[in-house]
């Protein structure tokens, strides 16, 4: 497990039985709760390992691993954003958290926004980073590449991170297939669903991200209380996501104050 930048002394991890799976979570820090929801194929640390120590200075972080990811179990159904949203909502109930801020990245951002749609009573403020809510938000080439994706193309960093916490290659291959199937069956969020989001949302995107900047600008006009941050870099560079991080990168340290200002309602 990666720790740095003044480790939080308030750390614990655990499992909770959630809708038929055993769900892993980590808690850091104290204060108002902020739920961190990782990207597809990832673990808590591959997505948020660089920013957890910074965010935990002022908040209680509730970091989850979703169905089939990392240390969390699987069920006999494919991955879906609705199910992930329900799983996080149930976990929060088990942890006696009545309302929280959410920070989701990539597929985790889609999940955070599904929580806002399906469980609005749980949501305070939401940061949605590098999401894709509509197929036309990215290039046709992206979807063609997804159809042809193979296990060998899964980033080695993801493979290593998974096997370090769940040393089972069959489960890793299952995760890859689950993720590929979800993306190949991707269906747009409807405009009606997007308009129903009442929580304030910060939409974050890299200027060289999977989705183009135009995607979040368009969606910001549908979400009633949306703000936008377009940051130089690729998919997840602004949080130091493991596949985007380059030696010496410190961009994530600059992004954390932006996130905190929004979460504190000072935007």
Whether residue 4 lies inside any domain: the answer is no
Rounded Cα distance between 218 and 198, Å, is 17
Q: Which pTM does this prediction carry?
A: 0.95
Band the pLDDT of 6: cuts 50, 70, 90.
Answer: very low
Rounded Cα distance between 28 and 45, Å, is 13
Whether residue 34 lies inside any domain: the answer is yes
Residues 6+ apart with CB under 8 A from 127: 101, 102, 103, 104, 109, 112, 201, 202, 204, 259, 262, 263
Residue (of 63, 103, 110) closest to 84 by Cα position: 110
Encode pLDDT of 154-201 as tens digits.
999 999 999 999 999 999 999 999 999 999 999 999 999 999 999 999
Mean pLDDT on 16-33: 97
Number of domains within the chain: 1
Mean pLDDT on 93-104: 98
Read off the CATH number of the domain in which 85 is found: 3.40.50.1820
Cβ-contact 206, 233 below 8 angstroms? yes
Whether residue 2 lies inside any domain: the answer is no
At 16, list the tokens.
């909770």
pLDDT attached to residue 239: 97
Q: For the residues of 111-162, what is the DSSP string, one character each?
A: HHHHHHHH-GGGEEEEEEES---SGGGS-HHHHHHHHT--GGGS-HHHHHHH
Whether residue 92 lies inside any domain: the answer is yes
Encode pLDDT of 113-147 as tens digits.
999 999 999 999 999 999 999 999 999 999 999 99
Q: Does the structure show a pLDDT above 80 at 4?
A: no
Band the pLDDT of 7: cuts 50, 70, 90.
Answer: low
Rounded Cα distance between 248 and 244, Å, is 12
Q: The domain containing residue 151 runs over which residues?
A: 11-263
Whether residue 6 lies inside any domain: the answer is no
Whether residue 148 lies inside any domain: the answer is yes
Whether residue 17 lies inside any domain: the answer is yes
At 120, list the tokens.
């609005």
Cβ-contact 29, 56 below 8 angstroms? yes
Q: Does the structure show a pLDDT above 50 at 260?
A: yes
């Amino acid at each position: 497990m990666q720790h740095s930048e003044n480790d939080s002394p308030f750390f614990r991890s655990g499992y909770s039985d959630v809708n038929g799976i055993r769900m892993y979570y980590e808690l850091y820090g104290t204060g108002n709760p902020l739920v961190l929801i990782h990207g597809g194929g990832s673990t808590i640390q591959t997505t948020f390992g660089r920013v957890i120590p910074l965010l935990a200075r002022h908040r209680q972080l509730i970091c989850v691993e979703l169905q089939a990811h990392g240390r969390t179990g699987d069920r006999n159904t494919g991955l879906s954003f609705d199910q992930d949203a329900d799983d996080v909502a149930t976990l929060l109930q088990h942890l006696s958290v009545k309302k929280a801020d959410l920070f989701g990245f990539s597929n985790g951002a889609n999940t955070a926004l599904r929580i806002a749609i399906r469980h609005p009573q749980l949501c305070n403020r939401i940061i949605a980073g590098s999401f894709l809510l509509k197929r036309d938000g990215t290039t046709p080439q992206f979807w063609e590449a997804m159809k042809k994706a193979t296990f060998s193309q899964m980033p080695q960093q993801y493979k290593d991170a998974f096997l370090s916490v769940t040393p089972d290659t069959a489960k890793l291959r299952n995760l890859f297939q689950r993720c590929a199937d979800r993306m190949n069956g991707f269906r747009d969020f409807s405009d009606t669903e997007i308009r129903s989001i009442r929580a304030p949302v910060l939409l974050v995107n890299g200027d060289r991200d999977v989705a183009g900047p135009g995607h979040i600008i368009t969606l910001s006009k549908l979400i009633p209380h949306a703000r936008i941050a377009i940051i130089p870099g690729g998919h997840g560079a602004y949080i130091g996501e493991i596949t985007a991080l380059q030696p010496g990168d410190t961009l994530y340290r600059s992004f954390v104050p932006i996130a905190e200002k929004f979460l504190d309602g000072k935007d």
